[in-house]
Chain A
Amino acid sequence: MKPADFEYHAPKSLDEALALLAAHRDDGKLLAGGQSLVPVMNFRLARPAHLIDLNGIAELDYLREEKGVLRIGALTRHAAFHRPALAGPTGELLRQVVQHIAHYPIRMRGTFVGSIAHADPASEWCVVVRLLEAEIVARSQRGERRLKAADYFHGTFATALEIDEVLTEVRLPVLDRSWRVGFYEFSRRAGDFALAMTAVALKRAGQKISEARIAIGGVEDRPSRVAAAEALLVQGRSPADAAGAVASAVRPMEDIHADAAYRKDLVRATTERALAQALA
């Protein structure tokens, strides 16, 4: 399973990368962690004629909190989140979620931003990005665009990115300590793709929930928020009811691992459990 031949480019600056991407827009692919792209190339399901390796672009390698936003540069590896990247519920959520992403060696190379660019329906970070309503920064030779998470995911491996754009950064709004977070995922084995997962963030105001966010992934062809279920929680209804609303609302994918009925069952369970965590 050797990949098809390609021309390899190792730009040292973002501008160089953008120029290459513009030149090879039709048959070029960007390489960051490679943990998703290379298997697909080894199976020859993707055969880019040009591979643009971003790993030498130092200016893309950063992870920092600035004014209530966690700025994740394109070369930040999953492993950077093994310990909380910042104090508070956001750092804790990221730390908890990252343990579910593939396996330790994959997390040494794979990148957060790469997951967003790749948009696998079972990507944990994509769910987090929807939950936190991240801002996604795309650059091309034509300039910079800031995309909202709610508009970004179009389907399986399909996003709002243009073919000459690089995702350079994802900006996660940081949740303050009035929020509680929870995450639950079901997969067949440790490290496997999620067959369903739910990430929740609940803002407490005394005993009540003033704001609820429920983001699901692995179930449909893109991560999504389930407004109907969120509304139930704000109205004081139970997590079981909210989970039921999620199960009713989804139109799940089917594949060799799970049919629609099973995914509905799963997302009900993952939602209940994520909520239980957040409410504990």
Chain B
Amino acid sequence: MSQPIAFTLHVNGKDYAVRAPARRSLADALRDDCHLTGTHLGCEHGVCGACTVLLDGKPVRSCLMFAVQAQGKEVRTVEGLAQGDKLHPLQQAFWEHHGLQCGFCTPGFLMLAAGVLEAEPDMSDEELKHVLSSNLCRCTGYQNILKAVRAAAAAMKQRPK
């Protein structure tokens, strides 16, 4: 058995001391070591996207990274989207447009959309749909997810930087 590694994860602006074997995924470390359970495991082989978080601003599948690989990087999870009590425009839009039913895929979609829209706010609708096809949802049939993300994209363009 390998020895556990001690390292720090920097998540949503906070430092978390982690002591875990190298094989612990970033997803599991976020959930079990940082107690941030908003990031979900749907497949553990990089297809469903429920585990999507932002790594230095880029959406990545946290089930496909080992936690130790994220040291020295900035991780953002769904718990870091809202500003205190104020919902992020994406969260607000998902609420307004019924973009979630069971909610299990939702954090993954939120982080995917947040990362993409922050990096490319003028992304075309076609490109946006292409990006949103990265994640699976079993409940909503995607209709309202698309509506919500479109609405949020427009709102995010409006808001002061």
Direct contact of A and B (CB under 8 A): yes
Give a binary string over B89-130; 1 marks a CB under 8 Å from any A CB, 0 the rest.
000000000000000000000001000100000000000001
The count of residues in chain B whose C-beta lies closer than 8 Å to any C-beta of chain A is 31
Query: Judging by beta carbons under 8 Å apart, are B68 and A8 in contact?
Result: yes
Query: Judging by beta carbons under 8 Å apart, are B112 and A104 in contact?
Result: yes
Q: Which stretch (B11-19, B43-51, B77-85, B143-151) binds chain A?
A: B43-51
The count of residues in chain A whose C-beta lies closer than 8 Å to any C-beta of chain B is 29
Task: Give B122 Cβ to nearest chain A Cβ, in Å.
Answer: 13
Query: Judging by beta carbons under 8 Å apart, are A39 and B45 in contact?
Result: yes
Chain B interface helix/strand/loop/mixed = mixed
Q: Which of A1-40 contact B (CB under 8 A)?
A: 1-8, 10, 34-35, 38-39
> What residues of chain B lie closer than 8 Å to A200, measured between beta carbons?
none
User: Is B64 close to A, CB under 8 A?
Assistant: yes
Query: Judging by beta carbons under 8 Å apart, are B134 and A39 in contact?
Result: no
Query: Judging by beta carbons under 8 Å apart, are B112 and A4 in contact?
Result: no
Indicate whether A105 sits within 8 Å of B134 (C-beta atoms), given known contacts A5-B2, A6-B2, A7-B22. Answer: yes
Task: Give A59 Cβ to nearest chain B Cβ, in Å.
Answer: 18
User: Is A109 close to B, CB under 8 A?
Assistant: yes
Chain A interface helix/strand/loop/mixed = loop
Assembled-state Cα–Cα distance A38/B25 (Å): 10
Query: Judging by beta carbons under 8 Å apart, are B52 and A105 in contact?
Result: yes
Give a binary string over B35-73; 1 marks a CB under 8 Å from any A CB, 0 the rest.
000000000111001001001001111011110110000
Across the interface, B60 reaches (CB within 8 A) one of A4, A5, A105, A191, namely A105
20 A-B pairs besides A105-B59, A109-B65 with CB distance below 8 A are A4-B23, A7-B22, A10-B68, A38-B64, A39-B44, A39-B64, A99-B130, A103-B131, A103-B134, A104-B112, A104-B134, A105-B49, A105-B52, A105-B58, A105-B60, A105-B134, A106-B61, A108-B58, A108-B60, A190-B133
B binding-site residues for A, Cβ under 8 Å:
1-2, 5, 21-23, 25, 28, 44-46, 49, 52, 55, 58-61, 63-66, 68-69, 112, 116, 130-131, 133-135
